[in-house]
């Protein structure tokens, strides 16, 4: 084979490999974009792109070959389908982090910290300081519990159950699992915040009674620092007990996401 022909063949093989990676990048990139900690505005765009391309290239080497792309309606529908599957997986896992932010919002009301807000890297909007604290705790536990490895396994298994180009035949199980998991997230967020909320409520009621008994006492000048102190103490105690409920919530999230891929 002459050098010109060999160079042409190598170039065609390279473009074929890039096409394979791009097909896998659609689903994986969409899933990572919706995930917190890895995607979203909390990570630079270049870092997100490098992670998505590297993961797509690694998975494409052990998965069946993707269909040859063509400029037709079938290719467009396949692209939309791949992105929809990836976004569904990412958004389901994102709901688990929203449970922590819900707990932070509820606790902030009792600690009078609802006015202390920061820019949320997940959505770009403003959220309370305690919501950001729960977000960071959930993110650290996600990596500590090997959630990133489970995510890679979930994405790889999704191509076994839903190969590129195959139709979505039955999503009924996913549609049944999603409302159940959503209610689990709401319940988890409320249960995480409930002990601290009840303790802060008792503290506020006590200072309310004291202010009625002794009019000279200023409930704002005295009650607010005490509420902050009680709340921070309880948050420190709560942090030691978060691993088990958060791990269970992540397990439910992966089960709900796997319902999409059968």
Query: Is residue 93 within 8 Å of 38, Cβ to Cβ?
Result: no
pLDDT at position 69: 64
What are the Cα distances from residue 121, in Å, to 38, 57, 88, 178, 240? Answer: 11, 27, 20, 25, 25
192: containing domain? 3-260
Beta bridge partners of 119: 126
What are the Cα distances from residue 181, in Å, to 19, 84, 119, 174, 251? Answer: 36, 19, 27, 10, 10
Burial classification of residue 26, based on how many CB atoms lie within 10 Å of its CB (0-12 exposed, 13-18 middle, 19 or more buried)? buried
Query: Is residue 73 within 8 Å of 133, Cβ to Cβ?
Result: no
Distance of CA 64 to the CA centre of its chain: 28
CA–CA distance, 62 with 31 (Å, rounded to integer): 19
CA–CA distance, 39 with 94 (Å, rounded to integer): 10
Q: How many domains does the chain contain in total?
A: 1
All residues at 6 or more sequence positions from 186 whose CB lies less than 8 Å from its CB, including other chains: 99, 102
Report pLDDT digits (tens) over 64-95: 777 666 667 777 888 888 888 888 888 888 88
Per-residue pLDDT of the chain (262 residues; tens, 9 = 90+): 444 343 443 444 555 567 788 888 888 888 888 888 777 666 778 888 888 888 888 888 887 777 666 667 777 888 888 888 888 888 888 889 888 888 888 888 877 776 666 666 556 666 778 888 888 889 889 999 888 889 988 988 888 888 887 776 666 777 787 888 888 888 988 898 888 888 888 877 877 777 777 666 666 666 677 777 887 888 888 888 888 899 999 999 998 888 877 6
pLDDT at position 5: 42
Token readout for 30 is 């969409």
pLDDT at position 174: 73
pLDDT at position 13: 56
pTM for this model (two decimals): 0.81
Which DSSP letter does residue 128 get?
E
């Amino acid at each position: 084979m002459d050098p010109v022909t060999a160079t042409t063949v190598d170039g065609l093989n390279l473009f074929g490999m890039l096409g394979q990676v791009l097909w896998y990048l659609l689903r994986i990139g969409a899933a990572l974009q919706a995930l917190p900690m890895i995607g979203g505005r909390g990570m630079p765009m270049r870092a997100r792109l490098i992670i998505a391309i590297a993961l797509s290239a690694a998975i494409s080497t052990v998965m069946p070959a993707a269909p040859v792309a063509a400029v037709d309606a079938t290719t467009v529908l396949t692209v939309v389908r791949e992105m929809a599957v990836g976004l569904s997986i990412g958004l389901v896992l994102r709901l688990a982090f929203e449970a922590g932010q819900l707990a932070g919002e509820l606790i902030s009301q009792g600690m009078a910290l609802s006015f202390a807000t920061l820019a949320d890297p997940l959505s770009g909007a403003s959220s309370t300081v305690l919501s950001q604290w729960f977000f960071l705790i959930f993110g650290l536990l996600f990596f500590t519990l090997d959630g990133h490895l489970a995510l890679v396994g979930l994405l790889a298994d999704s191509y076994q159950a839903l190969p590129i180009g195959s139709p979505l035949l039955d999503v009924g199980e996913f549609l049944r699992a999603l409302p159940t998991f959503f209610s689990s997230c709401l319940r988890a967020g409320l249960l995480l915040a409930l002990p601290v909320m009840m303790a802060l409520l008792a503290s506020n009621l006590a200072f309310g009674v004291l202010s009625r008994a002794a009019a000279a006492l200023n409930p704002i000048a005295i009650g607010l620092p005490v509420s902050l102190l009680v709340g921070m103490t309880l948050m420190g105690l709560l942090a030691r007990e978060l691993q088990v409920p958060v791990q269970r919530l992540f397990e439910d999230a992966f089960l709900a996401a796997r319902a999409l891929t059968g």
